[in-house]
Amino acid sequence: DGGITQSPKYLFRKEGQNVTLSCEQNLNHDAMYWYRQDPGQGLRLIYYSQIVNDFQKGDIAEGYSVSREKKESFPLTVTSAQKNPTAFYLCASSTQVNVWNEQFFGPGTRLTVL
């Protein structure tokens, strides 16, 4: 079945460590996105990529990094520079940047910093 997979579902990290969250899609979508969700709040855009080998900062990119070497993959690294990384992270994808279509979301990764 086509969809978006995120791994792991739960992730624990010690302070000062970098950690990478995986996002893979087999929908053949051009665009991919990373959002952060804090308890009781909406989604905030971290990074997005409209095409392979290209990505742009979203509203809260500080302390995060991404890569887009393959169309189906858009990993997110939470670096030690991110002051408050504990949150729920959602990956999404959508087709054709210049034609409005809904974003499809993965199941999310819950990151906890110990």
Question: Which residues of this protein are in contact with other proteins, per CB under 8 A?
Answer: 31, 33, 35, 40-45, 48, 50, 56, 58, 88, 90, 92, 94, 97-108, 110
Cβ-Cβ contacts under 8 Å for 89 (sequence gap 6 or more): 6, 21, 34, 35, 36, 37, 46, 76, 108, 109, 110, 111
Instruction: Please check whether residue 68 is in contact with residue 32, taking contact to mean a CB–CB distance below 8 angstroms.
Output: yes
Instruction: Please check whether residue 34 is in contact with residue 20, taking contact to mean a CB–CB distance below 8 angstroms.
Output: no
- Comparing CB distances to other proteins, the nearer of 85 and 106 is 106
- Comparing CB distances to other proteins, the nearer of 35 and 74 is 35
| Closest distance to other proteins from the beta carbon of 79 (Å) | 23
3-class SS of residue 69: coil
- Comparing CB distances to other proteins, the nearer of 20 and 101 is 101
| Phi, psi of 35, deg, nearest 5 | -120, 155
